[in-house]
Amino acid sequence: MLTDLLSETNRLSGQTVELCYHCHKCTAGCPVVEAMSYGPDQLLRMVAMDQREAVLSSKDIWLCAGCFTCATRCPNDIDIAAVMDALRQISLREGYQTGERDALLFHRLFLGVVQRLGRSHEAVMLGMFKVLSHTPLMNDVGAGLGLFLRGKVPVLPQRSGAGKEVSRIFKECQSPDNQ
């Protein structure tokens, strides 16, 4: 059974969203608000009003860069970045279509590589991102080549010796007890 979005968000984030009195400090300081549909403070209001569909399918929750400017400045001490994390998790779990498909793809590819190798590996991750994302294929090829020529994109992954342990930690975190 679905609970209302407000209590679910509060529970997952450890925050009290309804403390927001809409001073707009978060939205005024948000670096990516120009690209958003609503902005942080309006999103908090929509959570409080249980506008489930609009919130969970919004691109705003995927555009949040996690810079914590909002959380640092909020006069009511709401960790808005943590609220965004919670909303992303609910949105993913309930299978909402995101307006920012590539942001999600990037996170999934990144974690997929870490799960297998224990560390990130740019060459594999960037290659897969280029093929699977909606960004034009030739975008960033020049910059990627520049990094490669400066020895900054090693072709072979490092041996971390942590691969097995890290895969196990991923599995433990995905077990139903930890959801």
Partner 1 sequence: MNYSYYPGCSLHSTGLEYGLSTRAVFDALELGLIELEGWNCCGASSAHALDHTLSLALPARNLALAQEVGYDLVAPCAACFNRMKSADYNLRSNPAIRSEVETIVGFQYTGNIAVRPVLAVLFEDYGVEAIAARVQKPVYGLKVVTYYGCLLVRPPEVTQFDDPEHPRVMAALMEAIGAEVMPWSHATDCCGAGLSLSRADVVQKLVGRLAERAREAGADALVTACPLCQVNLEMRQTSEPKMPAFYFTELLGYALGVPEANKWWSKHLIDPRPLLKSAGLTVE
Binding site for partner 1 (CB under 8 A): 12, 31-32, 34-35, 63, 65-69, 71-72, 79, 81, 85, 88-89, 92, 100, 102-103, 105-108, 110-111, 114, 118-122, 126, 129, 133, 135, 139-140, 143, 146-147, 150-154, 158, 160-162, 165-166, 169-170, 172-173, 178
Closest approach, Cβ 119 to partner 1, in A, equals 5
Q: At residue 149, what is the residue type?
A: L
DSSP string of 126-158, one letter each residue: HHHHHHHSSS-TTTTHHHHHHHHHTT-S-SSPP
Contact at 8 Å (CB) between 71 and 82? yes
How many Å apart are CA 171 and CA 165, to the nearest integer? 10
How many Å apart are CA 9 and CA 85, to the nearest integer? 9
Closest approach, Cβ 21 to partner 1, in A, equals 20
Cβ-based nearer residue to partner 1, 49 or 172: 172
Closest approach, Cβ 58 to partner 1, in A, equals 15
Cβ-based nearer residue to partner 1, 48 or 153: 153
Cβ-based nearer residue to partner 1, 49 or 142: 142
Cβ-based nearer residue to partner 1, 23 or 68: 68
Contact at 8 Å (CB) between 156 and 117? no
How many Å apart are CA 76 and CA 34, to the nearest integer? 24
**Which pair of structure tokens corresponds to residue 48?**
């409080």
Closest approach, Cβ 81 to partner 1, in A, equals 8
Closest approach, Cβ 76 to partner 1, in A, equals 14
Q: Sign of torsion, CA 154 160 164 165?
A: negative
